[in-house]
């Protein structure tokens, strides 16, 4: 299986304010592939949507999903 399509593969990304995040690779999309309607819900910075503690909780929860049981 190609590593890029394997579930549980993450990538480091930065928003426009410079904050770094760990995101599932399969959740990323190129800007040119997004519709105008989808762009209406796009934020330039995570600061506009979540506090630092909320972002940490989201990331922690995403990693727990991929832990072997």
How does pLDDT run across 23-49, given as a tens digit for each residue? 888 888 888 999 999 988 888 887 777
- How many domains are there within the chain? 1
Over 80: is that where the pLDDT of 52 sits? Answer: no
Structure tokens at 46: 């995570």
Share of the chain above pLDDT 90, in %: 10
- Residue 31: C-alpha distances to residues 2, 9, 21, 23, 24 (Å): 23, 20, 18, 16, 16
The parent domain of residue 56 ranges over 3-65
Over 70: is that where the pLDDT of 5 sits? Answer: no
Q: What contacts 25, CB < 8 A, 6 or more positions away?
A: 4, 9, 10, 11
Residue 12: per-residue pLDDT:
92
Residues 42, 8: Cα–Cα separation, whole Å? 24
Residue 48: per-residue pLDDT:
76
């Amino acid at each position: 299986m190609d590593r890029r399509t394997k579930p549980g593969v993450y990538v480091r990304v930065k928003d426009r304010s410079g904050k770094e995040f760990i995101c599932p690779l399969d959740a990323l999309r190129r800007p040119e592939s997004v519709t105008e309607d989808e762009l209406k819900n796009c934020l330039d910075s995570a600061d506009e949507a979540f506090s630092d503690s909320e972002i940490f909780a989201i990331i922690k929860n995403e990693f727990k999903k991929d832990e072997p049981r």
